[in-house]
Amino acid sequence: MNCEIGFDELYERAAEIAVYRSLGKQTTAGFVGAALLSGSGKIYTGVNIDAPCSVGFCAEHSAIAAMVTAGESKVIKMVAVSCEGEVWPPCGRCREFLCQINDQNEKCEVLLPDKSITTIGELLPYRWN
């Protein structure tokens, strides 16, 4: 595992892909980009997709899907960045989803807007299961 990859690099990777764009008449993407460091030391990224009728998903979900597609499920670190450069913590749905992908993900470190670091477990003290 490549623990040398820090939040600065994850921030840069997320910020690079956080490019707001229109996909269709009512669908947009890229307002938020996410980057995560997996258990193998690889970085996976994704952007949000906002579509009518709540069928879109968060950038974290997109990055997690890329990681799972590659055969991994453990996340060491994660950051989400808006297209305006702001760090955003994962929403409750993303927190729970991450924990359900791999029970060890409650130890995943997350960069917060004030540049402090916490864990998913601290952000989600009462898990669904």
In the numeric block, the tokens 């299961």 are attached to 129
**Amino acid letter, residue 72:** E
60 neighbors 79 (Cβ within 8 angstroms): no
Q: What are the catalytic residues?
A: 60
Q: What gap in Å lies between CA 62 and CA 25, rounded to an integer?
A: 21
Nearest to 60 by CA among 41, 46, 40: 46
Q: What gap in Å lies between CA 94 and CA 32, rounded to an integer?
A: 13
Nearest to 48 by CA among 75, 73, 81: 81
